[in-house]
Amino acid sequence: MSGIRAKNTQPEMILRRLLHRAGFRFRLHRPDLPGKPDLVLKRWRAVIHVHGCFWHSHGCHRFRLPATNAEEWASKLETNRRRDTVVRAKLEQLGWRQLMVWECALTGRTRLADAALLAALDRWLRCDEWTGEISGNRASGRG
């Protein structure tokens, strides 16, 4: 567990490079905001959370509860989900729009093409929706 990074993960770096190449500017992990969001785009009063599918219990092919110590894992992952809910509520109260980008949209067999991902990001940033979510391409995954 000590080797699990909270910052500068591969999915986060993919998203950061893509946004920066497209001309979007942002701040990273602002400590003055609840939960230290991964990316903060002040111009749009928006934050982007880059969530790992396992650690945040996403319902995609990348999430599977481990067979060993299943109770402990379930408890840990439930704590993560509760914390996410609290952080989202606090950010909303402060007037920040929020987008969740899941790991499956950035890596692996269900990842979105860069152009499709950038189009979805751009569309959400320029709209007036308070929340949004970008997941991987379900047609490429199992089931």
46 contacts 131 by C-beta, under 8 angstroms: no
Q: Is residue 5 part of a domain?
A: no
By 3-state DSSP, what share of the chain in percent is helix, strand and coil, each rounded to 5? 40, 15, 45
Q: Is residue 18 part of a domain?
A: yes
CATH classification of the domain holding 94: 3.40.960.10
pLDDT in tens, 10-68: 999 999 999 999 999 999 999 999 999 999 999 999 999 999 999 999 989 888 889 89
- Report the candidate in 15, 3, 5 with the shortest Cα–Cα distance to residue 134: 15
Q: Which domain holds residue 112?
A: 10-134
Q: Which residues are within 8 A (CB) of 137 and not within 5 positions of it... i.e. 6 or more apart?
A: 105, 110, 111, 112
Report the domain count for the chain.
Answer: 1
Q: Is residue 143 part of a domain?
A: no
Q: Is residue 142 part of a domain?
A: no
Q: Is residue 50 part of a domain?
A: yes
